[in-house]
Amino acid sequence: MSKHIGIDLGTSNTRIYMKGKGIVLREPSVVAVDQMHKRVVAVGADAKRMIGKTPGNIMASYPMKEGVIANIDETGRMLRSYLGKVSAGGILSRPTVIICTPYGVTEVERRAVEDSAFEAGAKNVALIEEPLAAAIGSGLKTSGARGCMIVNIGGGITEVAVISLGGIVKSTSVREGGASLDEAIVQYMKREYKVLVGDGTAEALKKNIGSVHQSMDRGEMEIRGRSLRTGLPAIMTLNSAQIRQALGEQSKKIVGAICQTLENTPPELSADIFDFGIMLAGGGALLGGLPELITKETGVRVTVAKKPLDSVILGIGRIIEASDNDDIVRYRAR
């Protein structure tokens, strides 16, 4: 079995790519820990189902926040569990791992990612900027002199990058992603209707009827929550226009980051972007009406990646498949 592993360590979800095998794991980035006995009781989908339902001694949480590690111990345990799942009972030992990080992270944050991977059993660790991996995985030609723009909207962070000659020329990031969009819906329900809904309900609203442009409205959805006035269960129906209002501030920040990056891009590369458009990747790319909103505000054509949820891990996979062990280890220094 190959000992080359790629990991997309996301705020909301973790994906693993194995050389010669493709994507072998997709799991939520969630860990449930027994605080009394200091042991992990569930990881991934099983742990996510526990959020908001655990007794006092068990804490189910996301160890990643806004694209970086918030709890290094839990992240290491989560990675060890995931590597164990894909290792076929221990056949895969001490792999070489290439793992992505947001562009512009601090050295402390980079070290935390490396330490978590080593804690999980990695022999060697190489890091790659997430926007570059997303661009490669979306099918953009990043090695030539022609400029391209990638907008990767993840669970905790949105990164906008202009890429040319295999490197990032200009980049802007905002702490807006899938999690903040969900939180915006929760706060909107509390503010406008005095109804408390869970994160799962907010996520369902976003995915099913979420829209940030009127042309892509998608009807209505019935939801259940708890009235903050009476404390009793509440049932109500929401439509896309209401969700668009809830997501207004977050969508403006994402579009603002794109406009700021375009303003700072050298003229020659700006011309390339105007000709070939903007590529959207990440789970947020599936938000209804987002391409239309970006095109309206920038005047630039927008394309959604064929597999936006997997763009980053597919980019890492292409690097792994095209490299030998030494190439991957050296990649961090490039």
Would you call 101 helix, strand, or coil by DSSP? strand
Percentage of residues of the chain with pLDDT beyond 70: 94
- What confidence score (pLDDT) does residue 324 get? 57
For residue 52, pLDDT over 80 is answered with no
How many Å apart are CA 172 and CA 324, to the nearest integer? 32
Q: What is the 3-state secondary structure (H, E, C) of 276-314?
A: HCEEEECHHHHCECHHHHHHHHHCCCEEECCCHHHHHHH
Question: Residues 70, 95: contact at Cβ < 8 Å?
Answer: no
- Ranges assigned E (strand) in 95-228: 96-101, 124-129, 148-153, 158-164, 167-174, 195-196, 220-227
- State the pTM of this model: 0.90
Question: Residues 60, 48: contact at Cβ < 8 Å?
Answer: yes
The residue behind tokens 């920040």 is 253
Residues 95-115 have a mean pLDDT of 90
Least confident of 79-83, 227-231, 240-244: 79-83
For residue 140, pLDDT over 90 is answered with yes
Residue 230 half-sphere exposure toward CB, CA atoms < 13 A:
7
